[in-house]
Amino acid sequence: MTAIDRLNELLEAERAGVDTLSRLFPEARSPEMQKLFEEVRDDEAWSCAGLVRSIRTLGGTISEKKGDFAEKVMREPTLPDRLRLLNRGQGWVVKRLDGLLGEAIPASVRGFLEEMKTRHLTNIEACERLAESLKAA
């Protein structure tokens, strides 16, 4: 699998992340929860744009596909379960980013992927805190 293939795989996953967060909006129980869902969704969209730029930088063709992750998340019975599955998906992305960061890639792509990883780790922490607070309530 080439770096372009892996970037496209991430792009498809990030599109599914935008879809997932959009579907979680109606479940927000407070303005703070709505804000978190919007921030994570916006980070997923930011990642999509950056992945498209990165694929173009490497001379690749952009995938038009989107993963089916949102359907899987929404089948979970409770919001804390949905958030934990979302986090597993974000953790999967972080692992893939680590693999790409170990390759020889242009500095602009590397910088973007490093920021994408940082944002995903921050979002994982925030969603885990929310899931724990909902479970305790």
Give the angle subtended at the CA of 59 by the CAs of 91 and 120, to the nearest 5°: 15
Percentage, residues of the chain above pLDDT 70? 100
Burial of 18 (0-12, 13-18, 19+ CB in 10 A): buried
pLDDT band at 135 (very low <50, low <70, confident <90, very high): confident
Selected from 3.40.50.300, 1.10.3720.10, 3.40.50.620, 1.20.1260.10, the CATH number assigned to the domain covering 3-136 reads: 1.20.1260.10
Going from N- to C-terminal start, the domains of the chain cover 3-136
What would the pLDDT profile of 58-101 be if each residue is shown by its tens digit? 999 999 999 899 999 999 999 999 999 999 999 999 999 999 99
What would the pLDDT profile of 101-119 be if each residue is shown by its tens digit? 999 999 999 999 999 999 9
Indicate if the pLDDT at residue 137 is higher than 80: no
CA pseudo-torsion sign 80, 45, 99, 69: positive
User: What is residue 136's predicted lDDT score, i.e. its pLDDT?
Assistant: 78
Cα–Cα distance measured from residue 50 to residue 52, given in angstroms and rounded to the nearest whole number: 5
